[in-house]
Structure 1
Amino acid sequence: MSQSTVDAIVIGAGNHGLVAAALLADAGWDVLVLEGRSKPGGAVASRTIDGFVVDEFSSCYPLGQASPVLQSLELGGHGLEWLDHRPSLTHVSDADDELGSAVQDSPEATAAELDQDHPGDGEAWLKMFSGWRRVREPLLDALIRGWPPVRAGGRLARTLGAAGLLDFARFALLPSDRMGEEWFGGRRAREILAGNTAHADVSPLAPISGLMGYLLAMLAQDVGFPVPRGGAGALGEALASRARQGGAEIRLDSPVAGINVAEGRAAGVRLADGSEVRARRAVVADVSATSLYGDLLPDNAVPAGLRARMERFAWDPPTLKLNLLLDGEMPWRAARARGAAVVHAGLSAKELIGWHASIATGKVPPRAFCLVGQMTTADPGRSPSGTESLWAYTHLPRVPDEAAAGVAAESLGNIEAMFDELAPGWRGLERDRWVQSPAELEDANPSLVGGAVGGGTTQLFQQGPWRPVAGLGGPVTHVPGLYLASAATHPGGAVHGGAGYNAARAALRDSRWWSRPVGTATTKAQLMLQRREPNY
């Protein structure tokens, strides 16, 4: 299908771009995906180092496995196999804990261990999980699929009733620390909640942080922290295969340098090699918000108000990732950590409050907290028998460029010290390592600006109608025919395909004569909102 004119151009073969390509191709559109890297998947990729499969960016996908968007694509027919190893996660905060706080293979098993820590916490866990089962489908639909989430919100209201909806709304707004105190009396359940909250960049004292911890904790019990058999790249390849099945073409090593706008409409793209491709119907951009509005669009196509609002765009913190090739399992003191797919390591629930505060105020936390993935434990084929392919990542404070290397080095030393405390003897197992600094993450994937893996902060002020900037939210931009389909827009970070789904739906809606007026009105409203600079 290599040609100079197609129905839709998708910029970027990340999970959202590939989902959008698959859905548009399924609708009969000619779709061309242009990807700057030499492999599809974006931040869903892996490589092999001396027989060890190492995930380059993301790795475990509870939201991906549970996502109604990815489920609808039936990726199992394209080689994807999810592996759900239990315990799905264990939290370890100090060297005196010889067990760890674990999410086991059944709610009852998890509850039994929580009850041993504090009588009553097991019953509270079962109550929380029962409530999760009740809201699971409408909540995931509301969070991932569709913007604004009117239908899914209606389903949630019908499921819960008026009083139940009010209670759930309060629950969803709770800070994580408060949620832990209201629901549990012991350390273990609170640590499970707090550790899951730390996947985002929201303080445990901030509104909606509880919802983030709750969502991942319940998914850990429900679907686990599953990994694709063979590496994260297997998910990227499955998404690419699914897009190609519908007829989409994916061109690798084809970075896009700019978006062409003609007569006020997105008309195509210009590649780095100088060639151009025209788009009859849509340009879908799976790129960062700063790249779209600061680099790809012509200056005269970006209103002053939008440019001013983008100057306020807030990134999530930089990420430092340490990949270890070990000649044996990680020798954790805590028994539950030794067999877990994921370990939240280094700090207690209360200590995580200070950890977030240090990062937010530009300081390296004195003690490390890490998310640790034990990939061979979760998927035995990831490395030779008797070895472990392990990664650990932590957030860093955002500092001036000249200080970044020092911050990364200090934080790496803190990670090593934390491992010395919680897994003594690990240094003797190290065969090799690969350290990915924030700058190296961005070099490998330009969407990870400054090493930010979430596409922008997940704090409340930059969610929903404020993502990426104050406006209407969702994929529709102020340029007709141009749609944003990345973590920079709702639903935000993580691998779930939601932004790609929403962008494809919007493009298809705008192509139909009976629904086109909705899209036209939305685009005009976006333009009107973004013309003037904000007064507040």
Structure 2
Amino acid sequence: MTTETVDAVVVGAGHNGLVAANILADAGWDVLVLEATDVPGGAVRSAELAAPGYLSDLCSAFFPFGAASPVLRELELGEHGLRWTHAPDVAAHLLPDGRAAVLNRDPRRTAASLDEFAPGDGERWLRLYERWLRISDPLMDAILRPFPPIRPSLRLLRRESVADLLRLARRFLASARALGEEVFDGEGAKVLVSGMALHTNLAPTDAASGAFGWLLCMVGQQYGFPVPVGGAQRITDALLDRLRARGGEVRCGATVDRVIVGGGRALGAGCGDGRLFRARRAVLCDVPAPALYGHLVAAGHLPRRLLADLRGFQWDYATLKVDWALSKPVPWTTEAVAGAGTVHLGVDVEGLGLYAGELEANRRPRAPFLLVGQMTTADPTRSPAGTESLWSYTHLPHRRRWSTDEIDDHVDRIEAVFQRHAPGFSDVVVGRRVTGPDELEEENPSLQGGAVNGGSAAVYQQLFFRPIVGLGRADTPVDRLYLASASAHPGGGVHGGPGANAARAALARWRPILGDLYRATVQRVQRSIYT
């Protein structure tokens, strides 16, 4: 069997792999993307799951970070067919007593909703947002660009005093619950921040959960939670179209089972069927860190200290997702949530803490917190007029296998929450598809155990601790091999950061003169960490 040769082999055609391939192709590299499944896109795909004519997103559905990401903006995917659309309201958190805190792209409407819970909270929100607007561009650059973010940090220093940046750093370390109590008086704003934090696997009481809650609230206020017209698949389609226009290729059904290493360098990739692919310059892997270091690269090519550290890698919670086809919109008893694309449902601030506590204790939560997507409300192309394509997901403890009885019982709990807040919900269901953690992994091997964020977002597994103690960069101890998945900094979410950072690291390695200096510096620091 012949060996094909290209400049770069990208393992995995998730959105990060496709972002990396596009950036390398922009630089004139000959790029081949190898995807194990039959279709590209990873967690960013769409299909008719619940019933014919009802389009569902297989995993990722709303894209606040996609809209805010400088990485995706620079790719100009609009020129390749990507169009964004919005629900009338960004998000709403429906409390058990029927009150709702509503986030709208008009800050004044958000403020008015929060003032219903506590007069003055609206003004506090507006002040928070005004400060966000001053720092949002350099802050998003600092979050998504390679670590350490020197240039974005200098831009932040030009806009904010050192004292104010110290206060910002404190906010990033605070828990969502502490941040809510410190800034707001009413439950509406507090539950909005804490609910947003649980888009990750962080409990409202966890350190740094306030950063995620605050960040999602502010990004949602500025950019909304947009969806692609025609489904999440359109993001993948645009990335594929852009890549092919630049000569890149994606090959599906190509299951890479090893990265070929020789002389301390990545030389290419091999498939289980015997196909070999030589990489002149780089191998980039859009796979979870345990798959790269525990399977694709033979242990003899890796420092023993790295393999020991990998034992401490923590996955995020498992995910259980249900898609419904509804004959009409959800019959909410609280009209305020009817126009929200994203709905937080089931519990209040105290309930969020109990839910997270049960997950930490490896128990299925008795009162699940639900994230709900009203997709036709956000994009009328998703189902026939007057109907709704709806989904909801909730978290479960991370483990390898779930029984059918356990999943069925938890789906009953989910639907009971809908029945409480939308009596008659079951009467409008015309189709349903349940996707448990095991099925998520079957559809996309990178979603191991139903974990969708590439690893825990806890503070001990961020920055230079992601995925393990290191540089917080895409470089690995194997020369010309780069980690390009959500397991790498800056982590989960559809923003393209890990893929872009891996591509930039690969390009830096091949700069005349400076490339050798770059690699020597990386090797020296890694040697000090892993020896």
Cα 1:472–1:105 shift into 2, 3 Å: closer
Within 5 Å, give how 1:126-205 maps onto structure 2. 126-205=126-205
Q: Which digits, 9 at most, give the CA deviation of each residue in 1:309-329, with x for residues without a partner? A: 111110001000001111111
Partner SS state of residue 308, structure 1? helix
In the aligned structure 2, how far is the partner of 1:438 from the partner of 1:377?
27
Using the TM superposition, give the Cα deviation of residue 3 of structure 1 relative to its aligned residue in structure 2, in angstroms: 7.4
The residue aligned with 2:505 is 506
The residue aligned with 1:474 is 473
In the aligned structure 2, how far is the partner of 1:156 from the partner of 1:228?
31
Paired residue type of 2:270: R
In the aligned structure 1, how far is the partner of 2:526 from the partner of 2:95?
47
The residue aligned with 1:68 is 70
Paired residue type of 2:70: P
In the aligned structure 1, how far is the partner of 2:406 from the partner of 2:314?
20
Q: Which digits, 9 at most, give the CA deviation of each residue in 1:183-234, with x for residues without a partner? A: 1111111121111111011121121100100111111111111000000101
Contact 2:398 2:451 in 1 (8 A): no
Displaced runs of 4 or more, over 3 A? 403-407
| Range 426-435 or range 45-54, more displaced | 45-54
Q: TM-score, normalised by structure 2?
A: 0.97
Contact 2:315 2:398 in 1 (8 A): no
Q: Which digits, 9 at most, give the CA deviation of each residue in 1:53-91, with x for residues without a partner? A: 111111100001110000000000000001122211010
The residue aligned with 1:51 is 53
The residue aligned with 1:485 is 484
Contact 1:117 1:186 in 2 (8 A): yes
Give yes or no for the alignment of 1:237 onto 2:234: no
Structure 1 unpaired stretches of 5+: 532-536
Contact 2:105 2:223 in 1 (8 A): no
| Range 379-388 or range 32-41, more displaced | 32-41
Q: TM-score, normalised by structure 1?
A: 0.96
In the aligned structure 2, how far is the partner of 1:242 from the partner of 1:444?
25
| Range 242-251 or range 450-459, more displaced | 242-251
Using the TM superposition, give the Cα deviation of residue 512 of structure 1 relative to its aligned residue in structure 2, in angstroms: 1.1
Partner SS state of residue 478, structure 2? coil
In the aligned structure 1, how far is the partner of 2:505 from the partner of 2:247?
20
Using the TM superposition, give the Cα deviation of residue 529 of structure 1 relative to its aligned residue in structure 2, in angstroms: 2.3
In the aligned structure 2, how far is the partner of 1:355 from the partner of 1:339?
26
Using the TM superposition, give the Cα deviation of residue 514 of structure 1 relative to its aligned residue in structure 2, in angstroms: 2.6
Q: Which digits, 9 at most, give the CA deviation of each residue in 1:385-405, with x for residues without a partner? A: 12111110000023463x554
Using the TM superposition, give the Cα deviation of residue 524 of structure 1 relative to its aligned residue in structure 2, in angstroms: 4.1
Q: Which digits, 9 at most, give the CA deviation of each residue in 1:282-308, with x for residues without a partner? A: 000000001101111123112221111
Partner SS state of residue 487, structure 1? coil
Within 5 Å, give how 1:511-522 maps onto structure 2. 511-516=510-515, 517-522=517-522
In the aligned structure 2, how far is the partner of 1:325 from the partner of 1:103?
25
Paired residue type of 1:510: R
Within 5 Å, give how 1:421-500 maps onto structure 2. 421-500=420-499
Within 5 Å, give how 1:292-307 maps onto structure 2. 292-307=292-307
The residue aligned with 1:37 is 37
Partner SS state of residue 153, structure 1? helix
Paired residue type of 1:460: V
Using the TM superposition, give the Cα deviation of residue 409 of structure 1 relative to its aligned residue in structure 2, in angstroms: 3.0
Contact 2:14 2:44 in 1 (8 A): yes
Contact 1:100 1:335 in 2 (8 A): no
The CA RMSD over aligned residues, in Å, is 1.4
Contact 2:3 2:276 in 1 (8 A): no
In the aligned structure 2, how far is the partner of 1:41 from the partner of 1:149?
28
Partner SS state of residue 231, structure 1? coil
Partner SS state of residue 363, structure 2? coil
Q: Which digits, 9 at most, give the CA deviation of each residue in 1:16-58, with x for residues without a partner? A: 1111101111101111111112222211001124011111111
Paired residue type of 2:17: G
In the aligned structure 2, how far is the partner of 1:78 from the partner of 1:38?
22
In the aligned structure 2, how far is the partner of 1:201 from the partner of 1:86?
27
| Range 245-254 or range 479-488, more displaced | 245-254
The residue aligned with 1:270 is 270
Within 5 Å, give how 1:415-426 maps onto structure 2. 415-426=414-425
In the aligned structure 2, how far is the partner of 1:107 from the partner of 1:172?
22
Contact 1:479 1:527 in 2 (8 A): no
Using the TM superposition, give the Cα deviation of residue 126 of structure 1 relative to its aligned residue in structure 2, in angstroms: 0.3
Contact 2:34 2:255 in 1 (8 A): yes
Within 5 Å, give how 1:5-20 maps onto structure 2. 5-20=5-20
Partner SS state of residue 7, structure 1? strand
In the aligned structure 2, how far is the partner of 1:58 from the partner of 1:245?
25
Partner SS state of residue 161, structure 2? helix
Paired residue type of 1:84: H
In the aligned structure 1, how far is the partner of 2:6 from the partner of 2:450?
33
Cα 1:420–1:148 shift into 2, 3 Å: same
Using the TM superposition, give the Cα deviation of residue 182 of structure 1 relative to its aligned residue in structure 2, in angstroms: 1.0
Contact 2:89 2:341 in 1 (8 A): yes
Paired residue type of 1:63: F
The residue aligned with 1:534 is none
Using the TM superposition, give the Cα deviation of residue 520 of structure 1 relative to its aligned residue in structure 2, in angstroms: 2.7
In the aligned structure 2, how far is the partner of 1:400 from the partner of 1:385?
40
Paired positions, count: 527
Partner SS state of residue 201, structure 1? coil
Contact 1:476 1:523 in 2 (8 A): no
Contact 1:147 1:502 in 2 (8 A): no
Using the TM superposition, give the Cα deviation of residue 519 of structure 1 relative to its aligned residue in structure 2, in angstroms: 2.3
Cα 1:229–1:305 shift into 2, 3 Å: same
In the aligned structure 1, how far is the partner of 2:337 from the partner of 2:520?
53
